[in-house]
């Protein structure tokens, strides 16, 4: 893919991710309005853990990291028929595994959930078991959708696969709006299943005429075996990551009522900028990085990685400062309504403040991990993730007592930065062309501008206090946040322009390429 093609694909994916994040916010806002930071919603979020863990173990990012490089190699070599046999084998084995796992966990849920949520009473535990059993259907459809996503991304078709999460959110919103008033929190669980079905269905039409599915399994094919060998380490890494969520859910279940809800809402708010910038960039770059490595263009590979990391730092550092300063007002604007009251806002904002310490790290991981996957190395990111999880769990155990939710958020942030450090060191050994000195110097300069912009945002917030004070209303909050954000952004842009930071014109050029305003090749 050329620079212009990457930019346009990035725009498509980013636009879809933006829509998905907006719908994700709307989903949480509707759910929060109906249930608040309540025991019912705590049970819903806790019930999500096992179905989500199954999906993460079997598919999710593991599948893309294993399947895309293998498919890219086969299609580049002109072995289309073999490529589709590999896809069929992976999809069929995954379907069988998921059906078995879903059934087994449905039977074991009454034993597992009390261990995961020891702070719940008997009624809340029973409700969690019920919700878990309903939502165990969702990973089956989500995993098949992940296969479709991997194939479409390999073919350079990012639209439908980027649309799939939007449909998933719409399903949950439908459950919240139409089913929850009649079925209670169980309606949300049914909406999750409906959204998962839609996630797969929206990706089927673009595959017709391109992929030839076969109801067969051919594990003897070397390419299929390679896919599964690549899949295993990444699956282990994702399993380790799920341990973090399971442990933190267990710790949070012993805190005040609504703690699990506040934790999930704060973590979702953290994911908005990651989903808008870091993840789309990683998704779009993976095929290009795989092609660079396959063609022996290590210099291009290193350049892609370094420029992407610097761009991530350039954008994420000031955003971190801005979100820290305006966290309470932002949470109030997005989520305060109905039963999600001022107390829930404060609880969520406190957790978000500490989560934000790791924002840039999470976004960098979205670039660094695919850099290893592109070279068919899924083991290294897994080892880094396992190490980070160990540190995460240890810090959570030590800090949840004195710090509560903030301790759990601190553990997540510390683990993310450790993972970034390990991946950078190992990537530098693998690809010496990746100039970490340039990254460090750039990050230091960006951090100075971020601090300046955050100071301006804080001053603006004080001047705009009548608009941002509790109880000011949604319209006033929106205007106040927009003005404070604009002042901070203008400050950072001016800082970058005065210092001639190259990422500023690079970002402008990327946006021009994405919008197709440049006539020549990039």
Reading the block at residue 429, the tokens are 């050994």
Q: Rounded distance, CA 185 to CA 35, Å?
A: 8
**What's the confidence (pLDDT) of residue 318?**
95
Best CA proximity match to 367, nearest among 434, 415, 319, 433: 434
Q: Rounded distance, CA 189 to CA 46, Å?
A: 12
Q: Contact 252/408 with Cβ under 8 angstroms?
A: yes
Q: Rounded distance, CA 128 to CA 109, Å?
A: 9
Q: Which residues pair with 340 in a beta bridge?
A: 337
Reading the block at residue 267, the tokens are 């973590």
Best CA proximity match to 261, nearest among 354, 339, 196: 339
Alpha helical stretches, state H, 274-297:
279-294
Reading the block at residue 460, the tokens are 């603006």
Q: Contact 457/422 with Cβ under 8 angstroms?
A: no
DSSP characters over 135-187:
HTTHHHHHHHHHHHHHHHHHTT--HHHHHHHHHHHHHHHHIIIIIHHHHTHHH
DSSP characters over 79-132:
-HHHHHHHHHHHHHHHHHHHHHHHHHHHHHHHHHHHHH-TTS-HHHHHHHHHHH
User: Whats the size of the chain, residue-wise?
Assistant: 522
Backbone angles phi, psi at 337, to 5 degrees: -175, 145
* Three-state SS at 470: coil
CA distances from 125 to 42, 115, 163, 184, 480 (A): 10, 10, 35, 16, 42
**What's the confidence (pLDDT) of residue 522?**
32
Cα Rg of the chain (Å, integer): 23
Q: Contact 42/260 with Cβ under 8 angstroms?
A: yes
Q: What is the pTM of this model?
A: 0.76
Q: Contact 236/56 with Cβ under 8 angstroms?
A: no
* pLDDT by position in tens, the chain (length 522): 445 555 555 566 667 667 777 888 888 889 988 888 888 999 999 998 888 887 776 655 556 667 777 888 888 787 878 888 888 888 898 889 889 989 999 999 999 999 899 989 999 999 999 999 999 999 999 988 888 888 887 777 767 777 888 899 999 999 999 999 999 999 999 999 999 999 999 998 888 877 777 777 887 788 888 887 777 776 777 777 778 888 999 999 999 888 999 999 999 889 888 877 766 665 556 566 666 766 666 777 787 788 888 888 999 999 999 999 999 999 999 898 888 888 999 999 999 999 999 999 998 998 888 788 777 777 888 889 889 999 999 999 999 999 999 999 999 999 999 999 999 999 888 777 777 888 899 999 999 999 999 999 999 999 999 999 888 889 999 999 999 999 999 999 999 999 999 888 877 776 665 555 444 333
Q: Rounded distance, CA 219 to CA 92, Å?
A: 11
Q: Contact 468/477 with Cβ under 8 angstroms?
A: yes
Q: Rounded distance, CA 304 to CA 367, Å?
A: 10
Q: Rounded distance, CA 9 to CA 4, Å?
A: 8
**What's the confidence (pLDDT) of residue 131?**
96
């Amino acid at each position: 893919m050329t620079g212009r093609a990457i930019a346009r694909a990035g725009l498509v994916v980013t636009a879809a991710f933006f829509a998905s994040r907006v719908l994700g916010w709307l989903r949480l806002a509707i759910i929060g309005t109906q249930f608040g930071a309540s025991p019912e919603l705590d049970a819903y979020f806790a019930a999500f853990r096992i179905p989500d863990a199954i999906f993460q173990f079997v598919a999710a990012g593991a599948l893309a990291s294993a399947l895309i490089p293998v498919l890219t190699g086969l299609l580049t070599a002109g072995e289309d028929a073999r490529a589709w046999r590999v896809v069929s084998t992976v999809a069929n084995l995954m379907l069988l595994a998921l059906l078995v796992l879903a059934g087994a966990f449905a039977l074991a849920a009454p034993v597992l959930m009390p261990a995961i949520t020891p702070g719940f009473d008997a009624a809340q535990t029973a409700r969690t078991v019920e919700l878990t059993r309903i939502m165990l259907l969702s990973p089956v459809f989500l995993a098949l959708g992940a296969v479709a996503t991997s194939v479409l991304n390999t073919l350079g078709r990012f639209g439908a696969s980027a649309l799939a999460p939007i449909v998933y959110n719409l399903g949950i919103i439908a459950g919240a709006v139409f089913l929850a008033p009649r079925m209670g929190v169980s309606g949300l669980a049914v909406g999750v299943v409906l959204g998962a079905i839609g996630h797969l269905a929206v990706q089927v039409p673009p595959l017709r005429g391109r992929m030839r599915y076969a109801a067969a399994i051919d594990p003897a094919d070397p390419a299929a075996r390679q896919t599964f060998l690549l899949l295993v380490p990444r699956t282990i890494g994702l399993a380790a990551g799920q341990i973090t969520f399971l442990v933190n859910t267990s710790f949070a279940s012993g805190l005040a009522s609504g703690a699990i809800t506040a934790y999930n809402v704060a973590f979702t708010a953290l994911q908005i900028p990651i989903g808008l910038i870091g993840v789309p960039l990683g998704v779009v770059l993976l095929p290009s990085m795989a092609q660079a490595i396959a063609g022996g263009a290590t210099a291009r590979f290193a350049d892609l990685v370094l420029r992407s990391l610097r761009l991530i730092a350039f954008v994420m550092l000031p955003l971190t400062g801005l979100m820290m300063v305006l966290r309470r007002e932002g949470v109030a604007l997005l989520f305060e309504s109905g039963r999600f009251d001022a107390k829930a806002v404060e609880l969520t904002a406190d957790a978000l403040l500490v989560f934000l310490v790791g924002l840039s790290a999470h976004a960098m991981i979205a670039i660094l991990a695919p850099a290893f996957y592109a070279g068919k190395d899924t083991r290294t990111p897994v080892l880094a993730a396992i190490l980070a999880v160990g540190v995460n769990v240890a810090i959570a155990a030590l800090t949840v007592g004195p710090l509560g939710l903030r301790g759990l958020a601190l553990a997540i942030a510390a683990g993310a930065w450790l993972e970034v450090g390990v991946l950078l060191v190992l990537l530098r050994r693998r690809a010496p062309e990746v100039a970490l000195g340039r990254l460090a110097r750039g990050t230091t300069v960006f951090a100075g501008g971020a601090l300046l912009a955050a100071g301006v945002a804080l001053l603006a917030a004080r001047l705009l206090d009548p608009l941002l004070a509790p109880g000011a209303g949604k319209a006033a909050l929106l205007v106040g946040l927009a003005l404070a954000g604009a002042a901070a952004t203008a400050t950072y842009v001016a800082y970058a322009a005065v210092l001639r930071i190259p990422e500023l014109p690079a970002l402008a050029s990327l946006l021009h390429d994405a919008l197709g305003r440049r006539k020549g090749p990039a």
